[in-house]
C-alpha cells in the first residue's frame, strides 16, 4: 500500500514586498516554524549573490560597477533561471521551498527606472516559464513605517523616487497575477506578521495534497 502512494510534493512559497518590509526576517521565522512542525524546508533568496552571475549583481547593487538597465535586468532573471531546476526538483522531492524575492521584484525594480525601452511587460518576459509559486505572500508596508526601520542604506534603489515607483508598479503587477497573491499587513509586530504568514503557509501546504470529495 505504501509503495503505491505518490510522493507528496512540497510547496513553492514566495515572499515579496518593498525594501524593509521584513521579508528576510519573516522567511527565516517561517522556515523555523515549518521545520518545528515537521516539514522539510529550504530557504532561498534572490538575488543569490554567491553564484558567478550573483557576484556581478552584488557589485552592481553596491554601486561598485555599472550595467546597462536591460543587461542587469537579464542577469537578475538569469540568476533565477540558474536555480530553476533545483527549485523544481526540490519541490518535487517533497521539500517546501521558501523564496525571498522572485520575479515580481525582478520586473518591478527594473521597470521603475522609467527607461523608455524597459516597460513592465518587457521586464516580465524573461520570467515566463520559471516555476510558478503556489502562493506569493506580499508584505505590504507604508513608506512611513518602512522609513522607521533603519532608513535607507548605501545600495542602489534605496531612495525615495525608486521606492515610490516600485510601490506603484508592485500594485499593477500583483493585480495581474491576483490568483497567486496573498497580501499581508507587514506594519504590525514581527510576531503578529509571522503568525499570519505561518497560518497561510500551512494552509497552502495542506491544500496541495488534500483529498477531493467523491463526485456524483
Ligand atoms: N532586486 C532584487 C532587483 O532589482 N531585481 C531582482 O530580480 C531582485 C531579486 C536587493 C535589491 O535588489 C533588487 C531589490 C533590492 O533593492 P535584497 O537583497 O532582497 O534585494 O534586499 P535587502 O536589502 O536584503 O532586503 P530588504 O531591505 O528588502 O529588507 P527585508 O528583507 O524586507 O527586511 P528585513 O527582514 O531585513 O528587515 C529590515 C529591518 O526591519 C526590522 C528588522 O529587524 C531589520 O532591522 N523589522 C521590523 N521592525 C519592526 N517591526 C517589524 N514587523 C519588523 N520586521 C523587520
Ligand atoms: Na532582505
Tens-digit pLDDT profile for residues 59-71: 999 999 999 999 9
* The predicted structure's pLDDT at residue 28: 98
Probe target for ligand 1 pocket from 18, 24, 147, with the most ligand atoms within 8 Å of CB: 24
Query: Measured between alpha carbons, how far is 20 from 149 in angstroms, rounded to an integer?
Result: 7
Q: Tell me the C-alpha to C-alpha distance, in Å, between residue 167 and each of 44, 81, 187, 204.
A: 23, 25, 15, 26
Which-ligand-closest: CA of 26?
A: 1
Confidence of residue 2 (pLDDT cuts 50, 70, 90): low
Q: What pLDDT, in 10s, does the model give residues 132-159?
A: 999 999 999 988 888 888 767 779 998 8
Residues whose CB is less than 8 angstroms from the CB of residue 57 and which lie 6 or more positions away in sequence, other chains included: 47, 49, 72, 75, 76, 79
Query: Measured between alpha carbons, how far is 136 from 132 in angstroms, rounded to an integer?
Result: 10
Q: Tell me the C-alpha to C-alpha distance, in Å, between residue 101 and each of 75, 96, 137.
A: 15, 16, 10
* The predicted structure's pLDDT at residue 3: 62
Which-ligand-closest: CA of 25?
A: 1
Using only the alpha carbons of the chain, give its radius of gyration.
18
Cell 514586498 sits on residue: 17
Percentage of residues of the chain with pLDDT beyond 70: 96
Ligand 1 atom with minimal separation from the 110 CA: 4
Residue 166 has pLDDT above 60, yes or no: yes
Probe target for ligand 1 pocket from 25, 31, 60, 173, with the most ligand atoms within 8 Å of CB: 25
* The predicted structure's pLDDT at residue 128: 96
Beta strands in 67-125 (DSSP E): 96-100
Query: Measured between alpha carbons, how far is 182 from 200 in angstroms, rounded to an integer?
Result: 9
Which-ligand-closest: CA of 191?
A: 1
- Burial of 7 by CB count in 10 Å (0-12 exposed, 13-18 middle, 19+ buried)? exposed
- Please check whether residue 157 is in contact with residue 109, taking contact to mean a CB–CB distance below 8 angstroms: yes
Residue nearest to atom 38 of ligand 1 (CA): 20
Query: Measured between alpha carbons, how far is 38 from 54 in angstroms, rounded to an integer?
Result: 32
Residue 216 has pLDDT above 80, yes or no: no
Percentage of residues of the chain with pLDDT beyond 90: 78
Does pTM top 0.90 for this prediction? Answer: yes
ipTM of the complex: 0.97
* The predicted structure's pLDDT at residue 179: 72
Q: What is the maximum alpha-carbon separation in the chain?
A: 64
Q: What pLDDT, in 10s, does the model give residues 70-110?
A: 999 999 999 999 999 999 999 999 999 999 999 999 999 99
Probe target for ligand 1 pocket from 57, 60, 105, 124, with the most ligand atoms within 8 Å of CB: 105
Cell 532573471 sits on residue: 77
Residue 210 has pLDDT above 70, yes or no: no
* The predicted structure's pLDDT at residue 197: 98
Query: Distance from the CA of 108 to the center of ligand 1, in angstroms?
Result: 15
Residue 198 has pLDDT above 80, yes or no: yes
Residue nearest to atom 18 of ligand 1 (CA): 47
The predicted model gives 38-47 an average pLDDT of 98
Query: Distance from the CA of 39 to the center of ligand 2, in angstroms?
Result: 23
If one counts every other C-beta atom within 10 angstroms of the C-beta of residue 6, the result is: 6
| Residue ranges lining ligand 1, Cβ < 6 Å | 17, 19-25, 46-47, 61, 76, 101, 105-106, 109, 149-150, 157, 189-190, 193
Amino acid at each position: 500500500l505504501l509503495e503505491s502512494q505518490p510522493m507528496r510534493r512540497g510547496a513553492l512559497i514566495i515572499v515579496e514586498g518593498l525594501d524593509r518590509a521584513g521579508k528576510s526576517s519573516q522567511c527565516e521565522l517561517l522556515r523555523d516554524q515549518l521545520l518545528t512542525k515537521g516539514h522539510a524546508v529550504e530557504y532561498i533568496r534572490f538575488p543569490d549573490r554567491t553564484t558567478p552571475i550573483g557576484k556581478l549583481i552584488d557589485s552592481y547593487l553596491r554601486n561598485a560597477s555599472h550595467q546597462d538597465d536591460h543587461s542587469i535586468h537579464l542577469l537578475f532573471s538569469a540568476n533565477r533561471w540558474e536555480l530553476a531546476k533545483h527549485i523544481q526538483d526540490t519541490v518535487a522531492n517533497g521539500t517546501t521551498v521558501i523564496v525571498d524575492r522572485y520575479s515580481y521584484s525582478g520586473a518591478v525594480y527594473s521597470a521603475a527606472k522609467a527607461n523608455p525601452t524597459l516597460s513592465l511587460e518587457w521586464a516580465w518576459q524573461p520570467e515566463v516559464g520559471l516555476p510558478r509559486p503556489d502562493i506569493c505572500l506580499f508584505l505590504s508596508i507604508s513608506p512611513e513605517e518602512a522609513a522607521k526601520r533603519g532608513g535607507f542604506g548605501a545600495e542602489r534603489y534605496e531612495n525615495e523616487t525608486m521606492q515610490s515607483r516600485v510601490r506603484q508598479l508592485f500594485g499593477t503587477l500583483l493585480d495581474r497575477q491576483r490568483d497567486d497573491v496573498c497580501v499581508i499587513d507587514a506594519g504590525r509586530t514581527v510576531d503578529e506578521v509571522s503568525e499570519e504568514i505561518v497560518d497561510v503557509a500551512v494552509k497552502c501546504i495542506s491544500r496541495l495534497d488534500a483529498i477531493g470529495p467523491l463526485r456524483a
